[in-house]
Amino acid sequence: MKRKPVLLKKEVEKEVKKENVKDENIDDKTVIQSFRKLIVGVYDNAEFASEFALFIAENTTLKILLIDADTLHPIIAETLAMKHTFNANISTSIRTTSSFNMAMDYMAKGKPTREIFQEMCIKCKSLYVLTGNDDLNMYEYYPENAFKELLIMAIKCFDMVIVNTNACIYDAFYVDTLDTCDTMLYPVELTADKLKKVNQYVMYGLQKRSIEKDRQKIIGFNYSPLHMPKSEVKAATEKNFLGTIVYDEKRISARSKFHKRYKMSRKVKNDYITLLKKFNIHLGKRGFFKKR
């Protein structure tokens, strides 16, 4: 896929300007290229969203925020083995252990300052996270525009915002993410039934939300030789196929061990390096490579 400039939605674009990403802590020899801020949606895959976000945060100079917007199955904090899920020094009118809920509460009652918003985001190594909802009653507590306001604030504070949604395409947070994001990713296992399902979702975005197919991309996650051949996937998705992230037994094992974070194999890292090139992020050459 040839990288084209991606435009944010008008309400977001008003708040965001093109800028060069700079980090005073980076070695002077590291070359930093200009980077257009991005909001990337992830359809119902906390594992992929966590791996993708953490890999970018650890290997680039970009400031990355991962938002767990799956209110029914929020497991990003567990997937990343996070010890802390909220900042107890931030006062809110609700009792919660979710930094996502804290941020949404602020958005519902008046925008927080950038400083307070960033303090709400919990640091996980070099990644920032808004940890998921811990109270189903909160789902109907917020006004309709609160989540979009959160995304606007997030992209003002961070270089790249990655949002994991739940599996329901009628969910308000999924719809807001789809409407607002630059790219919506569908990381699924490449079986015939799941590919048919996400193809339907892409058509829903196109026909019902006027989201161009080029902004909706399918990724083969946990890909193995048992899955559909890539040639068949490319034909079935009409060039909407972005690539694969290889299967890893350690990933499967980590699913039952939330206290221990999954460590990528070299093959998995290589797949993410290839994927990032589609977003104009090149590691190991000129650009965002961070020296160890």
pLDDT at 134: 81
Beta carbons of 50 and 76 less than 8 angstroms apart: yes
The phi and psi torsions of 80 (rounded to 5 degrees) equal -90, 0
Residue 66: closest CA among 118, 130, 125, 10: 130
Q: Return the percentage of the chain with pLDDT > 70, whole number.
A: 84
Q: pTM value?
A: 0.86
Note whether 244 and 230 are within 8 A (CB).
yes
Is pLDDT of 2 > 50?
no
Mean residue pLDDT of the chain comes to: 85
Closest CA to 38 of 239, 276, 198, 231: 276
pLDDT tens-place string over residues 203-219 = 999 999 999 999 999 99
pLDDT in the model for residue 14: 54
3-state SS, residue 188: strand
Stretch 2-12: mean pLDDT: 44
Domains and CATH numbers, the chain: 34-277 (3.40.50.300)
- 287: which 2 tokens? 């650009």
pLDDT score, position 258: 64
- HSE toward the beta carbon, residue 153, CA cutoff 13 A: 26
Q: pLDDT at position 233, please?
A: 94
Considering the chain, what percentage of its residues have pLDDT values greater than 90?
66
Question: Which residue from 64, 134, 75 is spatially nearest to 105, judged by alpha carbons?
Answer: 134
Gap between the Cα atoms of 22 and 196, Å rounded: 42
DSSP class of residue 248?
-
Give the pLDDT confidence of 127-165 residue by residue, as tens digits: 999 999 888 777 667 788 899 999 999 999 999 999 999
What is the SS3 string spanning 61-130?
CCCEEEEECCCCCCCHHHHCCCCCCCCCCCCCCCCCCCHHHHHHHHHHHCCCCHHHHHHHCEEECCEEEE
* Higher pLDDT pick, 92 / 257: 92
